[in-house]
Amino acid sequence: MRSIRPDVPPAVAALMVCVFGVTTGEFVIAGILPDVADDMHVSISAAGLLVTAYAIGMIVGGPILTALTARARRKPLITVLLAIVVVGNLASALAPTYPVLFAARIVTSLVTATFFANAIVIAASTAAPGRQASTVSTLVFGMNLSMILGAPLGTLIGNAFGWRATFVAIAACCALGLALVWRLVPDVRGAASAGSAVAELRVFRDRDVRWAIAVTAVANAGLLAVFTYFAPLLTDVAHFAEGSVPFLLLTYGVGAAVGNVVGGRLADRAPMRTQIGLLTALAATLVLMWATAGSRVPTAILVFVIGALGFAVIPGMQTRVLTTAASAPTLAMAVNASAYQLAAALGAWLGGHTADNGPGLRAVYLLAAIITALGIAVSTYAHHQAATPEPAATP
């Protein structure tokens, strides 16, 4: 198999297919939620718990499973994890009742963060010196594709053949990815120094690791608050027709794909300066969105811009965690993935509180700008801490 681009290793291309399938399985539920609710005879809010359950499963399961499998050879491990994802999606497709579907989603989510963590570490290990961030951005492009193509295609399949067919298609995509991984991904050992799960947790004694993960949790929460309430912001505030929303989300996804590639290359050259600069631009853009929220043309343009800026910061953040957590990078990446899910949950809660009990829906843009500004402060402080020698630990 040739790689997607001449400079993309085949192993990374294979992993990107897997990331596309797994991430589509996470995001697509939003597009088929009404059909799931009708078929399972539950309310929309109850069906919405399937999304919350998936996030909680990643937050809880990722760090624990990754710590327990730290010494495992990475290729057999990710093939097993992918097999569980395939079975989980097939179980979702065949679920006779809502509790069974709920359980299938939980099982799938428990292995997702560990898969992502191992995939990122493998991808980074194939990168040439100075190309880690751009190589990771190539892998994350699979996530961008799931937003641009995966979720819309999954929704179309669900509309045409029923929501269960959507999960069958996702299972098939993940099975294809598993076959490519088995053939193309090298058999890499886990951390040679890894010991017990408790020993692996020692990596979090490192101040720079803690701050790198804190940046992920704080700096992404603002944009995720906006993304959660994109549909009502676009229809109720900007006065777009409901039929325009999928195309605007596609615009956001295209922006995310462009930003991911450009951000990875910029982070290779000047990681901290790139991160702080992109977050500053994102905060300013969110304020501009608030100011022009009632106008459709500026909003449509800025949807692309915030997608690009929001995803441009991710490769640098992930690479920072990798470089600071050299003794246990896979566990650190799993915790970092959990931090991203925590940012999503926090952003959604704060956005909902602002819309329902605060100044209103439009103010979600300002809330996001404020949270992003806090992310800039955390990033700046983390950069200052990294340049300051850490005091020696007391025996």
The full set of domains in the chain, from first to last, is 1-190 (1.20.1250.20), 195-388 (1.20.1250.20)
Q: Report pLDDT for 218.
A: 92
Return mean pLDDT, the chain.
83
pLDDT along the chain (395 residues), means of 10: 56 90 83 81 75 79 81 87 96 95 92 86 74 72 77 82 94 95 78 52 76 88 84 86 78 86 85 90 97 94 94 85 73 77 80 82 94 94 73 50
Tokens of 348: 């959604």
Q: Report pLDDT for 199.
A: 55
N-terminal to C-terminal alpha carbon distance within the chain: 52
Q: What is the rounded CA–CA span in Å between residue 288 and residue 369?
A: 10
Q: Report pLDDT for 17.
A: 92
Tell me the pLDDT tens digit for each residue of 272-298. 889 999 999 999 999 999 999 999 999
Tokens of 164: 């269960």
Q: Report pLDDT for 394.
A: 47
Q: What is the rounded CA–CA span in Å between residue 263 and residue 284?
A: 18
Q: What is the rounded CA–CA span in Å between residue 145 and residue 254?
A: 9
Neighbours of 156 (CB within 10 A): 13
Q: Is 168 left (phi over 0), alpha (psi -120 to 50) or beta?
A: alpha
Could you tell me which residues come within 8 angstroms of residue 392 by beta carbon, excluding any fewer than 6 positions away?
Answer: none
Q: Report pLDDT for 395.
A: 45
Tell me the pLDDT tens digit for each residue of 359-391. 888 999 999 999 999 999 999 988 887 766 655
Q: Report pLDDT for 190.
A: 55
Could you tell me which residues come within 8 angstroms of residue 58 by beta carbon, excluding any fewer than 6 positions away?
Answer: 109, 110, 112, 113, 337, 338, 341
Q: Report pLDDT for 147.
A: 72
Q: How many helices (H) and strands (E) does the chain have?
A: 18, 0
Please state the pTM of the whole predicted model.
0.72
* DSSP code at position 236: I
Q: What angle do CA 283, 284, 287 make, to 5 degrees?
A: 90
Alpha helices in 28-146 (DSSP H): 29-40, 44-68, 74-94, 98-125, 132-145
